[in-house]
A and B are shown apart, each in its own frame.
Chain A
Amino acid sequence: MDPGRTYDVLVAGGGNAALCAALTARSAGASVLLLESAPRHFRGGNSRHTRNLRCMHDGPAHPLTGSYRAEEYWQDLLDVTGGRTNETLARMVIAGTAGCRDWMTAHGVRFQPSLGGALHLSHTNAFFLGGGKALINAYYRAAARLGVEVEYDAEVRDLDIADGRFRGASVARDGRAEAVRARTLVAASGGFQANLDWLRDAWGAAADNFLIRGTPYDTGRVLRALMDRGARTTGDPTQCHAVAIDGRAPRFDGGIVTRVDCIPLGIVVNARAERFHDEGEDLWPKRYAIWGRLVARQPGQTAFVVFDARARGLFIPPMLPPVEAPSIRALASELGLEPAALERTVAAYNAAVRPGAFDHTQLDTCSTAGLTPPKSHWARRLDRPPFCAYPLRPGITFTYLGVAVDERARIIWQDGKPADNLFAAGEIMAGNILGQGYLAGLGMSIGTVFGRKAGEEAARRARN
């Protein structure tokens, strides 16, 4: 980083969208400085934890099976967002995913068929060989080859914006503040889900019991700076995507290995040892994203999924073994629950289980009768020891709030005018397209398509 120099493009962020922007701008001839706030080992933001991107395609195309047409993609997006999406931008992303795999491959990304536990995504999502960190590493190698200047441990703390024009940024590096100048900015620094104070503003004290599944470096500082300077926002400011994860996971960065996937195979109780939602409502891939919020509403933001020996081997085990005990009573003691209460809940559930043909791979006929809340599928008596449990907490994946952009990735001011030389890509603007809900692999699609678009536009703006 050279304080005496004016770069064509300053990229704030170091994940997928930031790299797509940096590579594209550099390929167009622009001088590019990429500022990653994390140290080198933790570079890549939450892209490090991703594993695929959702792609439209009209026929089988490695590694995708079948077809996934633009209209189908759009309908899926409409379903999960309940219409809270910008159709122009959404369709632009969808169309952009058709061609981006070639570009990714050319920059070192490799693909593989759908992972074993995610076969239901084989026709919609292209999986990265080795996952998101392998992708990030490939992009950083490409950036080094092309001559993108990269700084780690360099956090953009504030933006120098005068009369709506970006002039430079204040950067914290080695504990010192430095100024850097650039002709354009690409803001690609993610959401604010790792900013505990901000989470507390939105959710109150409950936020203290949330775990953050990804990087601790997504503090939303650039997002806040843009909001303070008058950028229009989009996406629900009070919502985040959360799943139920192992309550013993670390506060940050536990990632996929803390996910608990056995909820349909057991019952879930809160700290009072009471059930609170239908565990067998629908197939797990369609329901896992609601359990973060369900647990967040329970006392102490905690819950426990209880199952017995029958469930063993039917789900992908999280990294930590479950709490195990020979009886429900003993299990309750281990979990710190009132033993009699848990015994009552399990007994009531067991008594309500109706005979059926169990099949955990589809909506089966095992359900309860006369129980509130019911368990609609996969209901089997819990009576075969050892009895097991995972403690659950809400694990936050990402936040929805972002800056509004137009189809050229330009940030839009509150007066509706697009900014002259400020662009955004990735999670910081994903709320334009995903205002709420969740669609697997969409974040990487938005980051890739808008990252490339922002890089292209920023390079053009800087060199004209």
Chain B
Amino acid sequence: MPATSTGAPGPGRLPLPLVEEGRHAARICNACRYCEGLCPVFPAIERRLDFGERDLRYLANLCHDCGACLDACQYAPPHPFGVDVPRTLAALRRASYRTYAWPAAPGGLFERSGLALLLGAAAAPLLFALALGLLAGGDVFLAPHRDEQGAFYQVMPHTAMVGVFGVLTALAAAALLVGLRRCWRDFGSSAGAAPDRGALWQAARDVVTLRHLGDGDPDGRAVRRWWHHCTFYGFLLCFAATSVAAVYHNVLGWPAPYPLSSVPVLLGSIGGAGLLVGPAGLLWMKLRRPPERQDRAQLGMDLVLLALLFETSLTGLLLLAARESAAMGVLLGVHLGAVAGLFLLLPYGKFVHGLYRVCALVRCALEAK
């Protein structure tokens, strides 16, 4: 049965020419069907007769942008039908991010990659380091530190660190959760059935294996999947490192820094390596795409998140390497500033694709049954 389609407005309206472009492509794909075996986007199109804004946002967030369908498309530009599914869905995806963003005002950063990069990757680390230096005083900030426990907290008191990052984390988490909820209400729950265990299990497997990332790619560019794995699992390992360190500090009473062989340092180092290699690899692949796959509007947004992750990891590893030197204070400030910039921008950049992709995969698993 065709899935129900509604043109009912979701949280916001998409620009009309973009909706028309999406509908044009979806109708052609629905009539052609040659790409049916490439990824779940095309079977999802085939389950529909009409393509309202919700459907388009769903399809856009289901697309992993592997490009195989453009390579295979007999109607790709310069054919007069001009079908470029990856580019059209990328534009719809960006518009959907803006639509789900909360609060709306910083959502403007989705389209202003230069500004986002300036704020997150440059201003935040510099200002944070500057503020830390002023507050800690030059004697402490610029002094060499032996590998003694609690050295970090001489530069920035533990309560201040917890306070600042507690607030930042809460803000980011709140904004991400509101976005997730808006997305799910837009095209997730409209499937008409609550997600059951089977659908959730299927979606979870698709997420952890990135099954559709690179599938159907004619040149075996599934290598992109491995760069993404490095990034994704690197991020999770760094998150785990911080969580273990929090337990060490608050439950066991062991203040940082920790020895090189300790669990938080090992997790953070491996994760940090992933966050250097993964984003670098993803960016490299984006830059060497063939001309017809270059999408400048998308590249800007991708670049911001990749740069922030790379910078966070790089400064963290430098801090680890130089934590006994006089540079520790500056590096700590820059690293914490980078983390702060990353957190602040998480809800207003490419990071959200992960959450909305999960919604789309759950919906897909539900309606494919």
Q: Is B71 on the interface with A (CB-CB < 8 A)? A: yes
Q: Which residues of A contact B216 (CB under 8 A)?
A: 129-130
Q: Which residues of A contact B38 (CB under 8 A)?
A: 129-130
Return the contact of B72 from the options A133, A316, A317 (Cβ within 8 A).
A133
A141 vs B219: C-alpha distance when bound (angstroms) = 9
Q: Which residues of A contact B37 (CB under 8 A)?
A: 112-113, 115, 127, 129-130
CB distance from A104 to the nearest CB of B (A): 14
Q: Is B32 on the interface with A (CB-CB < 8 A)? A: yes
Binds A, one of B23-31, B57-65, B101-109, B142-150: B23-31
Q: Is B2 on the interface with A (CB-CB < 8 A)? A: yes
Nearest to B78 among chain A residues (CB) is: A41
Return the contact of A115 from the options B34, B68, B73, B75 (Cβ within 8 A).
B34
A258 vs B46: C-alpha distance when bound (angstroms) = 16
The proximity string for B residues 1-25 relative to A, scoring 1 for CB distances below 8 Å and 0 otherwise, is 1100000000000000000000000
For window 217-274 of B, CB contacts with A under 8 Å fall at 218-219
Q: Which residues of A contact B75 (CB under 8 A)?
A: 255, 257
Q: Which residues of A contact B80 (CB under 8 A)?
A: 250, 253
Q: Which residues of B contact A255 (CB under 8 A)?
A: 32, 74-75
Q: Is A277 on the interface with B (CB-CB < 8 A)? A: no
Q: Is A101 on the interface with B (CB-CB < 8 A)? A: no
Q: Which residues of A contact B81 (CB under 8 A)?
A: 257, 319
Q: Which residues of A contact B28 (CB under 8 A)?
A: 257, 319
A41 vs B80: C-alpha distance when bound (angstroms) = 12
Q: Which residues of B contact A257 (CB under 8 A)?
A: 28, 31-32, 75, 81
Q: Is A312 on the interface with B (CB-CB < 8 A)? A: yes
Return the contact of A312 from the options B46, B49, B68, B73 (Cβ within 8 A).
B49
**With A108-B218, A129-B216 known to touch, is A313 a contact of B2 (CB < 8 Å)?**
yes
Nearest to A130 among chain B residues (CB) is: B72
Inter-chain CB contacts under 8 Å: number:
94
The proximity string for B residues 34-57 relative to A, scoring 1 for CB distances below 8 Å and 0 otherwise, is 111110000100100100000000
Q: Which residues of B contact A130 (CB under 8 A)?
A: 34-35, 37-38, 68-69, 71-72, 216, 218
A255 vs B74: C-alpha distance when bound (angstroms) = 8
Return the contact of B218 from the options A48, A132, A138, A313 (Cβ within 8 A).
A138
Q: Which residues of B contact A138 (CB under 8 A)?
A: 218
Return the contact of B36 from the options A49, A116, A250, A320 (Cβ within 8 A).
A116
Nearest to A316 among chain B residues (CB) is: B31
Q: Which residues of A contact B35 (CB under 8 A)?
A: 130-131
Q: Is B79 on the interface with A (CB-CB < 8 A)? A: yes
Contact A51 B34 (CB under 8 A): yes
CB distance from A427 to the nearest CB of B (A): 17
Q: Is A369 on the interface with B (CB-CB < 8 A)? A: no
**With A132-B74, A133-B74, A257-B75 known to touch, is A115 a contact of B36 (CB < 8 Å)?**
yes
Size band of the B side of the interface?
A: 20 to 34
Q: Which residues of B contact A49 (CB under 8 A)?
A: 74
Contact B79 A131 (CB under 8 A): no
A47 vs B38: C-alpha distance when bound (angstroms) = 19
Contact B71 A134 (CB under 8 A): yes
CB distance from A234 to the nearest CB of B (A): 29
The proximity string for A residues 15-54 relative to B, scoring 1 for CB distances below 8 Å and 0 otherwise, is 0000000000000000000000000011000001101000
For window 285-326 of A, CB contacts with B under 8 Å fall at 312-313, 316-321
- Give the most central of B35, B36, B46: most A CB within 10 Å: B36
A51 vs B33: C-alpha distance when bound (angstroms) = 10
A305 vs B358: C-alpha distance when bound (angstroms) = 43
Return the contact of B31 from the options A42, A115, A318 (Cβ within 8 A).
A318
Q: Which residues of B contact A351 (CB under 8 A)?
A: none
Q: Which residues of B contact A258 (CB under 8 A)?
A: 31
For window 330-359 of A, CB contacts with B under 8 Å fall at none
Contact A131 B34 (CB under 8 A): yes
Q: Is A209 on the interface with B (CB-CB < 8 A)? A: no
For window 91-148 of A, CB contacts with B under 8 Å fall at 108, 112-113, 115-117, 127, 129-134, 137-138, 141
A48 vs B76: C-alpha distance when bound (angstroms) = 12
CB distance from A142 to the nearest CB of B (A): 11
Q: Which residues of A contact B43 (CB under 8 A)?
A: 116
Contact B218 A141 (CB under 8 A): yes
Q: Which residues of A contact B34 (CB under 8 A)?
A: 51, 115, 130-134, 256
CB distance from A391 to the nearest CB of B (A): 16
Contact B33 A112 (CB under 8 A): no
Return the contact of A131 from the options B74, B78, B218 (Cβ within 8 A).
B74
CB distance from B253 to the nearest CB of A (A): 58
A133 vs B43: C-alpha distance when bound (angstroms) = 19
**With A112-B37, A130-B72, A137-B72 known to touch, is A256 a contact of B31 (CB < 8 Å)?**
yes
Contact B79 A253 (CB under 8 A): yes
Nearest to A108 among chain B residues (CB) is: B218
**With A312-B49, A318-B31, A319-B28 known to touch, is A112 a contact of B36 (CB < 8 Å)?**
yes
A321 vs B43: C-alpha distance when bound (angstroms) = 20
Contact B49 A316 (CB under 8 A): no
Contact B27 A48 (CB under 8 A): no
A108 vs B77: C-alpha distance when bound (angstroms) = 23
The proximity string for B residues 298-333 relative to A, scoring 1 for CB distances below 8 Å and 0 otherwise, is 000000000000000000000000000000000000
**With A116-B33, A138-B218, A253-B79 known to touch, is A313 a contact of B49 (CB < 8 Å)?**
yes
Q: Which residues of B contact A48 (CB under 8 A)?
A: 74
Q: Which residues of B contact A132 (CB under 8 A)?
A: 34, 74
A130 vs B78: C-alpha distance when bound (angstroms) = 19
A41 vs B291: C-alpha distance when bound (angstroms) = 13
Return the contact of A317 from the options B36, B49, B76 (Cβ within 8 A).
B49
A253 vs B80: C-alpha distance when bound (angstroms) = 9
**With A129-B38, A253-B79, A317-B49 known to touch, is A134 a contact of B218 (CB < 8 Å)?**
yes
- Give the most central of B37, B81, B216, B219: most A CB within 10 Å: B37
CB distance from B55 to the nearest CB of A (A): 14
Return the contact of B30 from the options A137, A259, A316 (Cβ within 8 A).
A316
A11 vs B191: C-alpha distance when bound (angstroms) = 53
For window 131-184 of A, CB contacts with B under 8 Å fall at 131-134, 137-138, 141
A108 vs B73: C-alpha distance when bound (angstroms) = 17
Nearest to A128 among chain B residues (CB) is: B34
Q: Which residues of B contact A116 (CB under 8 A)?
A: 33, 36, 43, 46
Contact B46 A137 (CB under 8 A): no
Nearest to A255 among chain B residues (CB) is: B74
A115 vs B33: C-alpha distance when bound (angstroms) = 7
CB distance from A285 to the nearest CB of B (A): 15
Return the contact of A319 from the options B31, B69, B71, B76 (Cβ within 8 A).
B31
Q: Which residues of B contact A256 (CB under 8 A)?
A: 31-34
A316 vs B46: C-alpha distance when bound (angstroms) = 9
Contact B33 A316 (CB under 8 A): yes
Starting from the known contacts A130-B37, A255-B32, 6 additional A-B residue pairs (CB-CB under 8 Å) come to A116-B33, A116-B43, A116-B46, A129-B38, A258-B31, A318-B31
- What are 15 A-B contacts with C-beta separation under 8 Å? A41-B77, A113-B37, A115-B33, A116-B33, A130-B35, A130-B218, A131-B32, A131-B72, A253-B79, A253-B80, A256-B33, A256-B34, A257-B81, A313-B2, A318-B31
What are the 10 tightest A-B residue pairs by CB atom distance, in nearest-first order? A131-B34, A130-B72, A112-B37, A257-B31, A134-B72, A319-B31, A319-B28, A133-B74, A257-B32, A129-B37
Interface residues of B (CB under 8 A from A): 1-2, 27-28, 30-38, 43, 46, 49, 68-69, 71-81, 216, 218-219
